[in-house]
Chain A
Amino acid sequence: MAETTVHGAVRRESSGDDRRNRAKRNRTLPPLSPGDLITAMPDAVIHHIFSFLPLKDVVKTSALSKRWHSAWTTTAHLVFDDVLPCNPDDTYSPDFPSLVDSVLIRCTSPTVKRFHITNFEYDEALHPKLDLWLRFAEERRVEDLRLCLHQPKVHYKLPRFLYCLSRLVRLEVRGCCFSLGTAVRWPCLKVLSIRYAEMSDDILEGIVRGSPVLESLELHNCRSIKNIVIDSTSVKELILDNGWLSNFEKIWAPHLLSLRVLGVWRLHSVFRLDDVSSLVEAELDFSVSGDGIGHDLLKELLEKLCGVSTITIGGWCLQVLSTLEMEGVSSPLSKCQNLILRTPVGQCELLGIAYILRSSQCLEKLVIHLTRSCVSKLKLDEESIQRFNFHEDLLCSRKGNFQCLAKHLKSVEIIDFACGFESKHLLALIKFLVGDALALEKMIIKANLRAQHVQKLVRVADICQLHGVSRNVLSYRRASQNAEVIFDYPLEEVSFEKHLRKILNSKRG
Chain B
Amino acid sequence: MSSSSSSSSSPPCPKKMITLKSSDGETFEIEEIAALQSKTLENMIDENCASTPIPLPNVKGKILAKVVEFCTKHAEAGADAETLRAWDAEFVGVEHAIVFDYILAANFLEIPTLLDLACESVAEMIKGKTPDEIRKFFNINNAFSPEEEEDVRRQNQWAFE
Contacts and interface: CB of A to CB of B under 8 A. Distances in A.
Interface stretch (B24-32, B44-52, B67-75, B136-144): B136-144
B91 interface: no
B4 A30 contact: no
A52 B117 CA distance: 10
Interface of B: 1-4, 39, 96-97, 100, 103-104, 107-108, 110, 115-116, 119-120, 122-124, 126-128, 130-131, 134-135, 138-144, 149, 152-153, 155-161
B2 to A, nearest CB: 6
The 3 A-B pairs of least Cβ separation, nearest first, read: A35-B139, A52-B123, A59-B159
A68 interface: yes
A44 B139 CA distance: 21
Contacts of B97: 37
B157 A38 contact: no
Nearest to B3: A486
Nearest to B128: A57
Contact of A36 (B123, B141, B152): B141
B15 to A, nearest CB: 28
Interface of A: 1-2, 4, 29-39, 41-42, 44-45, 48-57, 59-69, 85, 90, 92, 94, 99, 102-103, 442, 484, 486-491
Contact of A489 (B1, B3, B123, B138): B1
Contact of B156 (A37, A59, A64, A491): A59
A92 B127 contact: no
Contact of A94 (B116, B134, B157): B157
Contact of B152 (A38, A51, A69, A102): A69
A114 to B, nearest CB: 15
A65 B140 contact: yes
Contacts of A486: 2-4
A85 B159 CA distance: 12
Contacts of B141: 30-33, 36, 65
Contact of B140 (A68, A92, A99): A68
25 contacts: A1-B108, A29-B143, A33-B141, A35-B138, A37-B100, A38-B100, A42-B107, A45-B107, A48-B119, A53-B126, A53-B127, A57-B123, A57-B126, A60-B134, A63-B131, A63-B144, A63-B153, A64-B134, A65-B140, A67-B143, A94-B158, A94-B161, A99-B158, A486-B2, A487-B1
